A = this chain, B = another copy of it.
């Protein structure tokens, strides 16, 4: 169950990961859950939102660019990224963004 992330006042950072999956699970769901759990333990992690229908969109929020860099280089995460490229995603795009303003209801 994904919720709207409760992030602090901007500025902070967002990583927008958009992907198309290959057919079949091939261990994807288990790894995805594990990576969300692991990301939440990283320094600078602020929250994560995720939805998938035709396309999958996962947005993770971070305090600064250094936190994003460290998470990208995390050993377990590197293994998951490798499997993602080899097996789970037919195509993806990652966008590193600075959140300048937010509002909501």
Report which A residues bind B (CB closer than 8 A).
1-5, 7, 10, 14, 16, 18-20, 49-57, 59, 85, 89, 91-105
Query: Please, which residues of chain B bring their CB within 8 A of the CB of A59?
Result: 16, 18, 57, 59
Q: Please pick, from B50, B92, B96, B99, the residue contacting A95 in the complex, using a CB distance under 8 A.
A: B99
CB A101 to nearest CB in B, in angstroms, measures: 4
Shortest Cβ distance from A97 into B: residue: B97
Known contacts A53-B51, A96-B101: A19-B2 contact under CB 8 Å: no
CB A12 to nearest CB in B, in angstroms, measures: 9
Query: Please, which residues of chain B bring their CB within 8 A of the CB of A96?
Result: 99-102
Shortest Cβ distance from A10 into B: residue: B95
Query: Please, which residues of chain B bring their CB within 8 A of the CB of A102?
Result: 93-96
Q: List 11 A-B contacts (CB under 8 A).
A: A2-B53, A4-B19, A16-B97, A18-B49, A50-B57, A52-B53, A91-B105, A92-B105, A94-B104, A95-B102, A97-B99
